[in-house]
């Protein structure tokens, strides 16, 4: 018997704390940085004589071209604490440059145009080359580095320049080894003792666990071989990417509708769309008529979302349906998921885009219990999955209240049972709202209930509850990342459209994007949001991007669209930190599982179980255990059959969450801590 250990705080909480740990530190730093960055910009500026860029007064060298302003300042050298994550550069042109390094950097050599940077290999200290600079539209600071001629204490081979606004680059003396510049180097505890440091470096990652990755770019913009990009911090978003401040327009909210099979998810969504005017009366009549013809009259509303013949015939949802409507505060994107056990992979694909969620429960006698069943019911599994997606705001819609005559007792019973479970998953009581409703009789959906039997309920209706969600944070200022959910090819026009939700950054027509995993560059022809063309897509938007200049076979679901300078890693061998769910079979070395991450899925094999972690503290409890049992968390290494696009969780949350399933059940949820080997 597995030992029953009382964990006190439930494992999930601690797990989330670990998640939160990442979030928290990261976000705090981000927040701390950005305001100061904004502030510093308001200080007096000096104009660089070479590139005429207005630099902050306190910066000693020009942001763009690296020309020194005034006397050389004594930058301290930063000792970088390197963590062990070192990866091989795909384009390891860096190595050649690194080895031939010379300490004394001439100031003149600092002034390099971006185009020169990359091509001159013989340059020393040309971390500039390494810092990819070329596409000036993004304008990251060219490796402006004040190299320290005066820094006497430079150890052999150590290069430290921390440019005020750049990232600290470290090279070890072991540069003799061929690759010391590895992408994803994490560390950067920069010692902030230099007087020249200022808030201007705010956007440098130095205070974060960010990585500094370099790649010797050869200055070709259409280089189909993306070298490892520069650090994220150097990415400066353009003005059009950030949303206008004083916008009264509605923000986007992606809402996933999940729940056990037949709980009424599609019907609820259909009803909402109809009530809010998204579906015309004529269409509704059509659906009703056709549904009755097929003998599925009660599914009329669900047909608004289940459009394929298979789904209608069987009366189920098989793939995630996307629909749009507007509430008072949000543009809501509804992601109606399948509830069937076999289609959980599809539900994962859909829910990965969610910011908030509605868990639909069937209140009828027997159905609720069936849904709550550990092995056959999907209520639990969906709730756990939703929580692992980082969704912390939840509405529990107790549907089909008409079948139990709107009884308060039943409602309270459901709250008590499900409430404890949700708590154990990690949902905070304050962020869960409970709404009794009936989709079929239109009670409590968009207006207060008219049925007197529901009069004991005084809370908000569904639409108000949706409005009461907190707006999610969006990463506007990061480079573009859009996981591809769906690909539509129109052979007639020879164009390819990729659909998905933008996780970070922004895109507009004409911008160049890099399609991973095929690593080809394409141009954006047009964007479409809610079947209407839109000029700009920002983080959080669920859009369809039409691409030019790429073959349809190169774009597939599970890939990622990213900024050409900041490619996403592509790997087979990953290290994960996982938490094994309740009731799952133990995981041993060699277990074959299905690996789900954003929209991609692959068969995977557990290669090694590195260590078992203590659920409470997160510290290593045991090295190389034999197996991982339910409710334990561990660090494991998996090898996939085919490589997929992935990012570490700390860098991009959406691309770092993984789910392991086998035999039709979700066995473990986890995050990617490290990419062991890149393709």
Partner 1 sequence: MSRTVRKVLRETAGGRDAERVALKLEIKVEAIDYDKEGSVLRIRGKNTLENEHVKIGQFHTLELELQRPFVLRKKIWDSLALDVLRQASDPGASADLAVVLMQEGLANILLVGKSMTSTRSRIETSIPRKHGPAIAGYESALKKFFENVLQAFLKHVDFNVVRCAVIASPGFTKEQFHRHLMLEAERRQLRPIIENKSRIILVHTSSGYKHSLREVLDAPNVMSMIKDTKAAQEVRALKDFFNMLSNDPARACYGPKHVEIAHERMAVQTLLITDDLFRNSDVITRQKYVSLVNSVKNSGGTAHIFSSMHVSGEQLAQLTGIAAILRFPLPDLEDIEM
489 or 508: whose CB is closer to partner 1? 489
* Whether the Cβ atoms of residue 555 and residue 496 lie closer than 8 Å to each other: yes
Q: How many helices (H) and strands (E) does the chain have?
A: 13, 29
What character string, x for contact with partner 1 (CB under 8 A) and - otherwise, covers 429-458? Answer: ------------------------------
What character string, x for contact with partner 1 (CB under 8 A) and - otherwise, covers 521-550? Answer: ----------x-------------------
List, as one string, the DSSP characters of 320-336.
Answer: -EEEEEE-SSEEEEEEE
Question: Min. distance of Cβ 499 from partner 1 in angstroms?
Answer: 7
146 or 269: whose CB is closer to partner 1? 269
Report the C-alpha gap between 502 and 488 in whole angstroms.
Answer: 17
What Å distances lie between residue 65 and 105, 114, 217, 227, 276, CA to CA? 15, 8, 17, 22, 54
**Strand residues in 235-329 grouped as ranges (E):** 251-259, 321-326
Question: Min. distance of Cβ 547 from partner 1 in angstroms?
Answer: 14
Question: Min. distance of Cβ 612 from partner 1 in angstroms?
Answer: 12
Q: Which residues pair with 500 in a beta bridge?
A: 543
Size of the site for partner 1 (CB under 8 A): 47
Chain positions 274 to 313 lying near partner 1, rule: CB under 8 A, are 305, 307-310
* Whether the Cβ atoms of residue 413 and residue 398 lie closer than 8 Å to each other: no
Chain positions 311 to 340 lying near partner 1, rule: CB under 8 A, are 314, 318-322, 340
Q: Which helix (H) or strand (E) holds 595?
A: strand 592-597
Q: How many C-beta neighbours within 10 Å does residue 117 have?
A: 25
* Triad 266, 473, 39: Cα angle to 5°: 160
Question: Min. distance of Cβ 664 from partner 1 in angstroms?
Answer: 4
Interacting span for partner 1 (CB under 8 A) from 50-58, 275-283, 362-370, 483-491: 483-491
295 or 590: whose CB is closer to partner 1? 590
418 or 487: whose CB is closer to partner 1? 487
Choose, by CB under 8 A, the member of 250, 662, 676, 679 that binds partner 1: 662
Question: Min. distance of Cβ 250 from partner 1 in angstroms?
Answer: 22
Question: Min. distance of Cβ 615 from partner 1 in angstroms?
Answer: 18
What Å distances lie between residue 527 and 44, 509, 539, 552, 595, CA to CA? 39, 7, 13, 17, 31
413 or 589: whose CB is closer to partner 1? 589
Q: Which residues contact 124 (CB under 8 A, 6 or more apart)?
A: 97, 100, 101, 102, 103, 105, 109
Choose, by CB under 8 A, the member of 489, 508, 573, 616 that binds partner 1: 489
Question: Min. distance of Cβ 346 from partner 1 in angstroms?
Answer: 8
* Whether the Cβ atoms of residue 51 and residue 64 lie closer than 8 Å to each other: yes
Question: Min. distance of Cβ 638 from partner 1 in angstroms?
Answer: 12
Question: Min. distance of Cβ 370 from partner 1 in angstroms?
Answer: 19
Q: Does 632 bind partner 1 (CB under 8 A)?
A: no
* Whether the Cβ atoms of residue 366 and residue 372 lie closer than 8 Å to each other: no
5 or 136: whose CB is closer to partner 1? 5
62 or 587: whose CB is closer to partner 1? 587
> If you search the block for the tokens 């789910």, which residue do you land on?
659
127 φψ region: left (φ > 0), alpha (ψ -120 to 50), beta (else): alpha
Chain positions 565 to 624 lying near partner 1, rule: CB under 8 A, are 585-586, 588-592, 594, 603, 605, 624
Q: Does 342 bind partner 1 (CB under 8 A)?
A: yes
Q: Does 2 bind partner 1 (CB under 8 A)?
A: yes
Question: Min. distance of Cβ 459 from partner 1 in angstroms?
Answer: 33
* Whether the Cβ atoms of residue 258 and residue 386 lie closer than 8 Å to each other: yes
- Residue of 564, 486, 499 lying closest to 537 (CA atoms): 499
Site residues, partner 1 (CB under 8 A): 1-2, 305, 307-310, 314, 318-322, 340, 342-343, 345-346, 486-490, 499, 531, 556-557, 585-586, 588-592, 594, 603, 605, 624, 626-627, 629, 641, 661-665
């Amino acid at each position: 018997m597995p030992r029953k250990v009382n964990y006190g705080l439930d494992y999930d909480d601690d797990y989330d704390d670990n998640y939160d740990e990442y979030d928290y530190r990261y976000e705090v730093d981000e927040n701390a940085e950005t305001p100061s960055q904004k502030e510093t910009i308001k200080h007096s500026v000096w104009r660089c004589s070479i590139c005429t860029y207005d630099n902050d007064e306190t910066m000693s060298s020009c942001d763009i071209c690296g020309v020194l302003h005034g006397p050389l300042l004594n930058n301290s050298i930063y000792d970088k604490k390197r963590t062990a994550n070192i990866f091989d550069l795909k384009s390891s042109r860096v190595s050649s440059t690194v080895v031939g390094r010379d300490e004394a950097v001439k100031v003149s050599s600092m002034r390099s145009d971006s185009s020169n940077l990359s091509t001159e290999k013989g340059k020393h200290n040309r971390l500039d080359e390494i810092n990819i600079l070329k596409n000036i539209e993004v304008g990251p600071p060219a490796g402006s580095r004040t190299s320290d001629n005066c820094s006497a204490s430079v150890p052999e081979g150590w290069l430290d320049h921390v440019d005020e606004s750049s990232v600290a680059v470290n090279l070890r003396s072991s540069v003799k080894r061929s690759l010391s510049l590895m992408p994803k180097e994490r560390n950067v505890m920069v010692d902030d003792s230099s007087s020249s440091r200022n808030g201007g470096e705010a956007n440098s990652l130095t205070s974060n666990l960010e990585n500094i990755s370099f790649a010797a770019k050869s200055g070709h913009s259409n280089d189909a071989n993306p070298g490892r990009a520069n650090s994220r911090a150097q990415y400066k978003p353009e003005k059009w990417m950030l949303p206008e401040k004083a916008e009264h327009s509605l923000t986007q909210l992606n809402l996933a509708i999940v729940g056990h099979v037949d709980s009424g998810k599609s019907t609820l969504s259909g009803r909402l769309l109809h009530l809010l005017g998204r579906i015309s009366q004529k269409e509704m009549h059509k659906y009703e008529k056709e549904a009755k013809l097929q003998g599925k009259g009660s599914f009329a509303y669900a047909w608004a979302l289940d459009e394929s013949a298979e789904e209608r015939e069987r009366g189920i949802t098989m793939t995630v349906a996307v629909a749009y409507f507007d509430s008072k505060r949000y543009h809501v994107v509804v992601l109606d998921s399948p509830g069937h056990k076999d289609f959980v992979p599809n539900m994962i694909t859909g829910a990965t885009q969610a910011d908030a969620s509605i868990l639909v429960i069937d209140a009828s006698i027997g159905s609720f219990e069936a849904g709550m069943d550990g092995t056959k019911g999907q209520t639990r599994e969906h709730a756990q999955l939703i929580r692992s997606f980082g969704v912390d705001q939840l509405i529990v819609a107790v549907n089909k209240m008409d079948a139990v005559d709107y009884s308060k007792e039943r409602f309270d019973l459901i709250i008590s049972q499900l409430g404890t479970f949700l708590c154990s998953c990690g949902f905070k009581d304050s962020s869960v709202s409970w709404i009794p409703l009936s989709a079929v009789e239109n009670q409590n959906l968009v207006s207060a209930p008219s049925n007197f039997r529901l009069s004991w309920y005084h809370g908000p209706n569904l639409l108000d509850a949706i409005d009461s969600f907190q707006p999610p944070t969006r990463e506007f200022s990061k480079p573009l990342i859009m996981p591809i959910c769906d690909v539509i090819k129109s052979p007639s026009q020879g164009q390819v459209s990729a659909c998905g939700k933008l996780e970070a950054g922004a895109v507009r027509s004409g911008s160049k994007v890099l399609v991973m995993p095929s690593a080809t560059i394409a141009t954006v022809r047009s964007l479409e949001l809610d079947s209407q063309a839109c000029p700009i897509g920002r983080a959080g938007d669920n859009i369809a991007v039409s691409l030019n200049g790429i073959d349809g076979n190169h774009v597939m679901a599970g890939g990622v669209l990213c900024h050409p300078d900041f490619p996403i890693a592509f790997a087979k061998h990953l290290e994960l930190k996982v938490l094994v769910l309740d009731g799952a079979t133990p995981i041993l070395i060699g277990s074959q599982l299905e690996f789900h991450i954003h929209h991609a899925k692959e068969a995977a094999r557990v290669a090694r179980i590195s260590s078992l972690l203590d659920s409470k503290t997160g510290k290593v409890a045991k090295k190389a255990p034999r197996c991982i049992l339910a409710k334990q968390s561990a660090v494991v290494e998996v090898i996939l059959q085919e490589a997929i696009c992935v990012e570490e969780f700390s860098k991009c949350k959406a691309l770092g969450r993984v789910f392991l399933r086998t035999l039709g059940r979700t066995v473990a949820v986890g995050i990617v801590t490290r990419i062991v080997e890149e393709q």
